[in-house]
Amino acid sequence: MSSHDKELSDDGSGGASVVGPVGRPLTENDLPPPDTKRWVMRRKAEVVAGVRSGLISLEEACRRYTLSVEEFLSWQRLIDSHGVRGLRATRLQDYRQNEPALPQRQRAMSGPVG
């Protein structure tokens, strides 16, 4: 079963769960709390797994965790490119240096960096 497949919960309630980033079932109740301030790799990966599996919509995840769509998509790209370890805050600079540069138009629209 892939991490995107839903299965019935063990309690017979019929609630959907998916295999989370650490290999255990993940339900909506297992997602990080809305007031999360410390975003460790596992919590970011749980949110990405929850959105990918349909446990929570992208819009709801962004609202619940006050994330921008761009930030969520960066988590997703880092997982796809480097695995869950790519989400380590101390390694983000290294991984982001290897990402393709933004097209000229997008760089201009994003404003000055500083």
pLDDT at position 110, please?
46
E strands of 1-114, at which residues? Answer: 7-8, 16-19, 25-26
pLDDT at position 20, please?
83
* pTM reported for the whole predicted model: 0.66
Using alpha carbons, list the distances in angstroms from residue 49 to 43, 88, 91, 98. Answer: 10, 16, 21, 24
Over its length of 114 residues, how does the chain's per-residue pLDDT go in tens digits?
333 344 434 443 345 668 888 778 889 889 999 999 999 999 999 999 999 999 999 999 999 999 999 999 999 999 999 999 999 876 555 555 555 555 544 444 444 544
Task: Report CA dihedral (103, 109, 112, 114) to the nearest 10 degrees.
Answer: -80
For the chain, the structural domain boundaries read: 54-99
pLDDT at position 96, please?
56
pLDDT at position 84, please?
92
pLDDT at position 93, please?
55
pLDDT at position 92, please?
53
Q: d(Cα 20, Cα 98) in Å, to the nearest integer?
A: 27
CA angle (42, 45, 51) in 5-degree steps: 145
